[in-house]
Amino acid sequence: MGEAVRIEGVTKVFGKQKALDNVTFSIPEHSVFGLLGPNGAGKTTLFSLIANFLKVNAGTIKVLGTDVDSIGDLQGKLSILPQDALFQANVPVREQLEFFCALSGMKREAATAETRRVLEMVGLLEVEKKNARSLSHGMTKRLGIAQAFLGKPEVVILDEPTAGLDPVNAAAVRTLVRDIKSKAKATLIISSHNLAEIQELCGMVAIIDKGVLKECRSVAELTETSGIVRFTFGKHLSEAEQSLLESLPGVAGVTVDTQDEYSVEIKPAEGQSVQELIAALVGALAAKGLVPRSVKEGASLEEKFLEVTKAKA
């Protein structure tokens, strides 16, 4: 697999502050890649450098083998959804997207067809004649994703695509990204503070802290922890239900990761495999009417993120 993006020795300085300090890593083609870091870590700066909105002080960035200093050569191949993408007031959704198509060189008929395609993709065809500013926050996010996929780009950057959304709309956007992931051949680069979301969507992540690259590995490698199993229940457990989980044979401890996900430290009995213990735990829970929606070995990405950045939960 080739490289979609190569970041080599990149440094960016604002005044006396180093926003990025000698950052080097690559993003594989056709992957879904997560970029993580605390506020002010340098994520948005890096996105701006990749899109050539800003210039590096040192180092190079190549997208699909092309130096971003020659960004014109990447027209139609690289797209970005900023965190707070804005659309014109008093202009219908369809007209705005058709205008973006025209800017990329499409003829009217092709622009109309492409606008219809992306609006269908994000489930917004019924609002094509509405004023873009009249849409809900969730619809506006989906419209931004539609704009990012105009013309079938090969590399798409999504900066905080679910930020500010309620759980229903955030889940809808994640479903949309999963659907795009399964059908498109594009490389998706996603930044999010929702680490469970990144763990679900991405195969590989980079963690940046204070402008320095701390980790760049597959999610599986980063979260691999012997003796930890994550149970997702689809709800927050009551005290009695958590006590039940903690009391089961082979359970040495339980930690709440998110509202519905729990990290369970397990210790198989002598001669018992991890898989046998997991099966026994699921069976014991099911017998009490508490059926996990998913069971995954390894630590949560949030736990590893806090460890790498030495932040406190």
Of 222, 240, 268, the last residue of a domain is 222
Residue 311 falls within a domain, yes or no? no
- Cα(121)–Cα(117) distance, rounded to whole angstroms? 6
Helix (H) or strand (E) holding 195: helix 195-201
- Cα(268)–Cα(272) distance, rounded to whole angstroms? 6
pLDDT of 251 reads 94
Of 193, 222, 251, the last residue of a domain is 222
pLDDT band at 302 (very low <50, low <70, confident <90, very high): confident
Whole-prediction pTM value?
A: 0.78
Whether 96 and 87 have beta carbons less than 8 Å apart is answered as yes
Tally of domains in the chain: 2
pLDDT of 197 reads 87
Residue 307 falls within a domain, yes or no? no
313 pLDDT more than 70: no
Regarding whether 101 and 248 lie in a shared domain, the answer is no
Mean per-residue pLDDT, 104-129 = 92
Regarding whether 114 and 262 lie in a shared domain, the answer is no
Residue 263 lies in domain: 226-297
Burial class (CB in 10 A: 0-12, 13-18, 19+), 38: middle
Residue 293 falls within a domain, yes or no? yes
Regarding whether 240 and 176 lie in a shared domain, the answer is no
Selected residue with higher pLDDT from 63 and 163:
63
Helix-strand-coil split of the chain, %, nearest 5: 40, 30, 35
4 pLDDT more than 70: yes
